[in-house]
Amino acid sequence: MLASPASAQHQSDGYKFLKAVRDRDGTVATELLDQPGNTTINARDITSGETALHAVVQRRDLTWVRFLLQRGANPNIADKNGVVPLQIAAQLGFIEGVEQLIKRGADVDVSDTTGETPLISAVHRRDLKLVELLVVNGSNPDRTDNSGRSARDYAMLMGARAGVLEAIEKAEKGKQDQAKTYGPN
C-alpha cells in the first residue's frame, strides 16, 4: 500500500533513503544523497536503530556496501541491540563485506551485549579465512566475552583438528613478520 501524497510529503529524507536502499532503488538513494547539506547516509530506522549499512550487510550485497561506504556511511554505528555491521558480516561469513568494512574504518574488536566480538563469531563458525583476516587486521584473540572466554579459548576447546587455533597463530605470526619489514612492501 502506498502512502497518500500528503503523508508522503511528511516522510523524512532518512525514511525515504532507508526505503530506497531496502528496495535497491539506486536512483532515489543517490538523489537523496546528492542534495546539498544532506546527512541521510547514516539515517537510522526508528524501530530497530539500523542504518542502511546494516540492511545491505544483512543481505550480503557487496555493491551496496561499497556504495554506502564510499558515500560516507559510518561502519561503527550500532543498532538498538548494540550490533554493528561488522558483527553481522562476521556472523554471516561475508568475508568481502568484512574486508570493505575494515578498509573503511570498522572497529575490529567491537563487542555486542554478550561481549562477543567478530573474531569470536568467526571462531564459532570455524571460518579459518575470516579468523585470519580479523587477526591480521588487529582483532585481539585474547579479548574475552561476558562468559570470560576469548576467541583463543574457544579455538582451544574445539581441538587441533578444527584448525582454528592454528589459524589464529598463523595470522599473529604474519602480523609480526609484517611489522619487522622495513621500507615499502
> What's 150's DSSP letter?
B
Q: Does domain 115-185 have CATH number 3.10.310.70?
A: no
> What's 167's DSSP letter?
H
> What's 3's DSSP letter?
P
Q: Find out whether 123 and 151 touch, Cβ atoms under 8 Å.
A: yes
**Residues paired with residue 144 on neighbouring β-strands, in sequence order:** 150
Give the whole-angstrom CA distance, residue 91 versus residue 107: 15
- Cell 547514516 found at: 42
* pLDDT at residue 174, as a whole number: 76
Question: What are the average pLDDT values for consecutive 10-residue runs of the chain, which has 185 residues?
Answer: 47 94 96 92 96 98 98 96 96 97 97 94 95 96 96 90 85 74 59
Alpha helices, H only, 5-140: 5-10, 13-22, 26-33, 52-58, 62-70, 85-92, 95-103, 118-125, 128-136
Q: Does domain 13-107 have CATH number 1.20.1600.10?
A: no
Q: List the chain domain ranges.
A: 13-107, 115-185
The pTM (predicted TM-score) of the whole model is 0.85
